Amino acid sequence: MSKKEITIELEQEQIDWLAENTVDFQITDESKAVRILFAFAMSELDSEEVFSSDNSKCLCD
């Protein structure tokens, strides 16, 4: 599988959580941590649940 660079926007709370878990789990960098999150969501979770209106709210509002 090839990698492609993308740009995403995150809230500061999300950035802090990602950085903390990257350190806590000794992951090489935040990019790798995001790929782990995607792989987990894609293999373990129901897309309809992930993207339901109950779960897709901005943390800042």
CB atoms within 10 A of CB 52: 10
What's the mean pLDDT in 9-21?
95
pTM above 0.85, yes or no: no
Contact 21, 33 (CB under 8 A): yes
Work out the pLDDT band at 49, boundaries 50, 70, 90.
confident
Average pLDDT, stretch 40-53? 85
**23 pLDDT exceeds 90?**
yes
60 pLDDT above the threshold of 60: no
Structure tokens at 30: 């935040």
C-beta of residue 11 within 8 angstroms of C-beta of residue 59: yes
Other Cβ atoms closer than 10 A to 22: 18
